Amino acid sequence: MEALTINEAAETTGWSPRMLRYIERAGLIVPRRSDAGYRLYGAGELQRLRTLRELLARFGIALSDVGFARRMREDGELEEAVGSWLKAAAARPEEVPASDWLRWEQDKHNKLLNELMEAA
Amino acid sequence: MEALTINEAAETTGWSPRMLRYIERAGLIVPRRSDAGYRLYGAGELQRLRTLRELLARFGIALSDVGFARRMREDGELEEAVGSWLKAAAARPEEVPASDWLRWEQDKHNKLLNELMEAA
DNA sequence: GCAACCTTGACACGCTAGTGGTAAGGTTCG
DNA sequence: CGAACCTTACCACTAGCGTGTCAAGGTTGC
């Protein structure tokens, strides 16, 4: 049986067992269960757990952001609504410098990066 | 000059002036400025402020969610990275009941809806 | 010139996300 | 059977989002 239990999966992916349950609850990675209800992580899940860490670190985004993206992908109506709202909003460039909120996002990103650096 | 100042815009859209500044900071609606630096909201901005309220209420999502969707739309690399991660994650249906996290999302949604109901 | 706006910046508060812990109980295996 | 796992369900903490409010100062219009 080529599958790891939660503590083993945590060991090889860098997440804590606690976080693996949290990620499952967010609907991002839901492992199959053994007869007794134990979580069983296959090779694909382990790989995606690792790339998830990379994804978050590289762009300075949150788990809930990925969760929202997933929800948009599942709910076409939501995706359509958000998309058309953004399109209308973007259709108004009227000389917006873009530097203001850009700096804001950058700050958030840098802050997260710094924390990750220190942790290493 | 067909444009409203921040308090007038707040009056006709239902947002508070404080929130209009916050929404601007999140990069969602950035009005142009007068020579003295006053925010000037045109008809388009007022309309999008109203539809933004609808959007949040209808789907029970947060301002930061829309902000993230905007960021994905602007940053192709981010969109590609998140998209391909989700695609890989979704390619593993291995009998996931989908009822668990679905209930979770539902709870969040309903909670927000109830709050909005009570506020009305 | 003064009342009534506007600006940015700060302090504060409640709520949620993200994270750790612990307790009570079932499972596996030597 | 006992140690070492696993499960769910709580309590608790930090940090950030969503808001209000206030202070100090510039702008507008009668």
pLDDT digits (tens, 9 = 90+) for A79-106: 999 999 999 887 654 444 454 555 555 5
Which tokens in the block code for residue B55? 């959007």
Which tokens in the block code for residue B38? 């006053």
* Interface mutation vs chain A, best among B21, B56, B59, most A CBs within 10 Å: B59
Q: Between chain A and chain B, how many beta carbons pairs sit less than 8 Å apart?
A: 110
**3-class state of residue B60 by DSSP:** coil
State whether the beta carbon of A76 lies below 7 angstroms from any atom of strand D: no
Cα dist from A59 to A43, A52, A76, B75, whole Å = 25, 11, 25, 10
Identity of the amino acid at A81: A
Give residue-wise pLDDT tens across range A25-73: 999 999 999 999 999 999 999 999 999 999 999 999 999 999 999 999 9
Identity of the amino acid at B80: E
Query: Model's pTM, two decimal places?
Result: 0.82
Q: Which of residues 36-95 of A touch strand C (CB under 7 A)?
A: 36-38, 62-65, 67
CA B19 to C1' C10, whole Å: 16
Which residues of A are less than 8 Å from B104 in CB distance? 25-27
Q: Which residue is nearest to nucleotide D28 (CA to C1')?
A: B36
